[in-house]
Chains A and B, each alone.
Chain A
């Protein structure tokens, strides 16, 4: 990332790396607009570096209370058939996926 008087610019290579991590893909046109928008948002978020905070502050707990945990007892969950019904690729109790293992020969 290039920084120049509060101007931030995310490079094409950086966007590619993030897209790879996020499992997304973009056309060149989309990437240009995205780079522009993201650079602006990141510049805006850089305001955070001015905040006076301690290392302790960074361990924030959203709830502020201990989690309410349920008893570890067996109870009815969601029906397996009902869950499989939400998949378009279900057959014989399984979900069909693209082939991921190549044959070796």
Chain B
């Protein structure tokens, strides 16, 4: 493997500017790496080699003329396959969209292009984002680069694996209930789920729109902050995007944490946490304490309901959003039908995988007459409760520290038999989606089997810069990012 593939996006930016190598050379190096290792890893669904090289050449030309679009002009990226890329397959890892080529790009992708960042290809995931291991992809399983018998996590498994396998310096994923943070943690990378509305969802294929955000997966905290700064901002195409002005999220990295109040919600330290993960969180707590922060235990009482509320709300929204896939205008249309009603049913039965159908059925149940009050409405009530609990906590604490997942990456096939068991792995991640607050996942040492272990930092709305500042302190103490 070429040495330069080990470098982060920021150092690529410096080298491109210094003329040490061109964007074309850099892009070709990543494409060669993908060619060489992705057969085993399975991070990519589509590699857009020709387009990437053409964009790289255009970037080199701009730089030559002194017209670089920003410091990251010419740096490659890879993008999760539920984020629309104009003219390039966007499958959501579903048979339903196996040949779907969107006529427009997501706003986040347009923002990358405006910064001169070029797309290497599209990354594998659990179908429509439903899953936590990338075993629910209709096309292939993504393997963990640290141990290929283990999962990369999910649903943005391809995003985390591509970064860990040096197939891309950074990537864009999406997080509905931990789908950026958990795979990042399984693959030793940094993942951010920003405040609800920070990043436009226009062009993100909807699974559960009231919960999800597009988010960066990177080798280290600083790259993550820089990538979020590029993709964040108000957008006329997403009415829920926040109009809070542009921000440089890396601005507080390097500041110390003296006097910061860190809370550890005891409800997020459940009995099923592995020793390795538990040790990682305790080590992060110790690092912050040694750096002058005040770390104490606290309580998030509603956490025990958050997971149930998450599965009810996300499935309800999925059942409604995925109703658009009827086989008529685009997506998979069945040849096996008699009458329009059967056409819809066959198209959907053939196009969707088992987990997607299960969630649609569950959501239909939660929204159906007789059960709506008891499930969907209650779940919305719990959302208010969780949000209020967090607000109370953030009066006393600046940030909250918790595990990301109860264990390190598990073996492929280990959890596919029992959906409820797989769902409980999301417990620590979903509260941030439920409340719309930002949460950062970053590595902190090694857990069982030599696999990376991660910790999560949560903050109040719009506190991303603080999370990056605190994350960087942990990262520095651990010897810097990947």
Contact = CB atoms under 8 A, between A and B. Distances in A.
Contacts of A68: 234, 236, 238-243
Interface residues of A, number: 55
A54 B381 CA distance: 7
Interface string B78-100: 00000000000000000000011
A74 interface: no
B308 A25 contact: no
B385 interface: yes
B360 interface: yes
B362 interface: yes
Contacts of B365: 10, 18, 38, 42
Which secondary structure dominates where chain B touches chain A? helix
A13 interface: no
A60 B302 contact: no
B333 A65 contact: no
B326 A48 contact: no
B419 A45 contact: no
A47 B361 CA distance: 19
B21 interface: no
Contacts of B312: 45, 48
Contact of B423 (A18, A41, A48, A79): A41
A75 to B, nearest CB: 8
A25 B361 CA distance: 11
B419 A37 contact: yes
B193 interface: no
B425 to A, nearest CB: 14
A89 B197 CA distance: 36
Contacts of B385: 51-53, 57
Contacts of A30: 354
Interface of A: 10, 15, 17-19, 21-26, 30, 34, 37-38, 40-42, 44-54, 56-60, 62-65, 67-70, 78-79, 82-83, 85-89, 95, 97-98, 100
